[in-house]
């Protein structure tokens, strides 16, 4: 079988499984239905994926490709905390728009197992946390900050999927509570410069992106000198 034909057949099987999952989020699907939709025999499916779990893993990777494709199209604000905030909203939006994919990506848990594709968005988040830490914006280690954001983001998204309705007020409240926890603005009400930095970062539309970035850099520099 030519290489291009082999690749096409594999992608057709993944696409067929993805369509079945998208059509009935949270429900099981049959391999026979996948094969029928893709126009292949069962041995062909096992040739490519080895098992149903192998096919599911490939669909999960496809889901992460879609998710990261959307994230890569987002323009960075230049501020890591604001980008974490925007990333949170994009994460929730993807889950609500693609509940079938999302429940496979984050809702199906096997102890001691994490899909390889799951590490990609985590690395992006960790990179933003590292940048925030370099700017002196975090009160916890960056790996802890990234984990804190991820687990709360997943929890909020899954809750909205379970309830089958968006809850933007809940998402925004948990998002801001999470950011306050990792930046320390909840525990340090007497630190006006730190508070001003996070307020400016949260509302870049007031001054504009360039001016907000400059203000954040200036206030961060002043706050660092105050601590010296």
Delimit the domains of the chain by residue range. 51-227
pLDDT of residue 189: 46
51-227 has CATH 1.10.357.10 classification: yes
Query: Is the pLDDT score of 190 beyond 70?
Result: no
Structure pTM? Answer: 0.74
Mean pLDDT of 96-112: 83
Question: Which one has a higher pLDDT value, 111 or 84?
Answer: 84
- List CB contacts of 16: < 8 A, sequence separation 6 or more: 34, 35, 37, 38
Q: What span, in angstroms and rounded, lies between the C-alpha atoms of 118 and 134?
A: 25
**Model confidence at 5, in pLDDT bands (50, 70, 90)?**
low
When mean pLDDT is compared over 100-114, 130-144, 194-208, the highest value belongs to: 130-144
Greater model confidence, 73 or 17: 17
The pLDDT assigned to 154 comes to 94
Q: Tell me what pLDDT residue 209 has.
A: 66
Cα–Cα dist 42/57, whole Å: 18
72 confidence band (pLDDT: 50, 70, 90): confident
Nearest to 201 by CA among 187, 185, 222, 225: 185
118 confidence band (pLDDT: 50, 70, 90) = confident
Kindly state the average pLDDT of the residues 113-127: 84
Mean pLDDT of 33-46: 94
For residue 3, pLDDT beyond 50: no
pLDDT recorded at residue 110: 74
Query: What six digits make up the tokens of 74?
Result: 């987002």
**Average per-residue pLDDT in the chain?**
83
Buried b (16+ CB within 10 A) or exposed e, 113-125: eebebeeebeebb
Average pLDDT of span 137-156: 94
Round to whole Å and give the CA distance between 14 and 16.
5
Q: Provide the token pair at 145.
A: 């900050």
């Amino acid at each position: 079988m030519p290489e291009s034909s082999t690749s096409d057949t594999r992608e057709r099987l993944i696409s067929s499984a993805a369509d079945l999952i998208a059509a009935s989020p949270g429900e099981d699907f049959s391999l026979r239905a996948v094969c029928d939709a893709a126009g292949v025999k069962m041995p062909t499916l096992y040739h490519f994926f080895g098992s149903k779990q192998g096919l599911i893993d490939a669909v999960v990777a496809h889901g992460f490709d879609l998710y990261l494709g959307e994230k890569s199209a987002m323009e960075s604000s230049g501020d890591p905390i604001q980008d974490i905030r925007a990333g949170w909203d994009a994460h929730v939006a993807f889950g609500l728009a693609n509940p079938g994919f999302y429940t496979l990506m984050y809702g199906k848990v096997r102890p001691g197992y994490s899909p390889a594709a799951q590490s990609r968005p985590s690395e992006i988040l960790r990179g933003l946390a590292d940048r925030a830490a370099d700017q002196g914006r975090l009160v916890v280690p960056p790996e802890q900050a990234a984990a804190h954001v991820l687990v709360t983001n997943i929890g909020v998204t899954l809750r909205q999927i379970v309830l089958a309705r968006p809850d933007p007020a809940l998402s925004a409240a948990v998002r801001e509570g999470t950011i306050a926890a990792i930046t320390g603005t909840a525990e340090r009400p007497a630190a006006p410069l730190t508070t001003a930095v996070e307020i400016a970062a949260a509302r870049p539309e007031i001054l504009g992106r360039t001016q907000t970035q400059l203000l954040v850099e200036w206030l961060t520099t002043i706050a660092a000198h105050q601590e010296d």
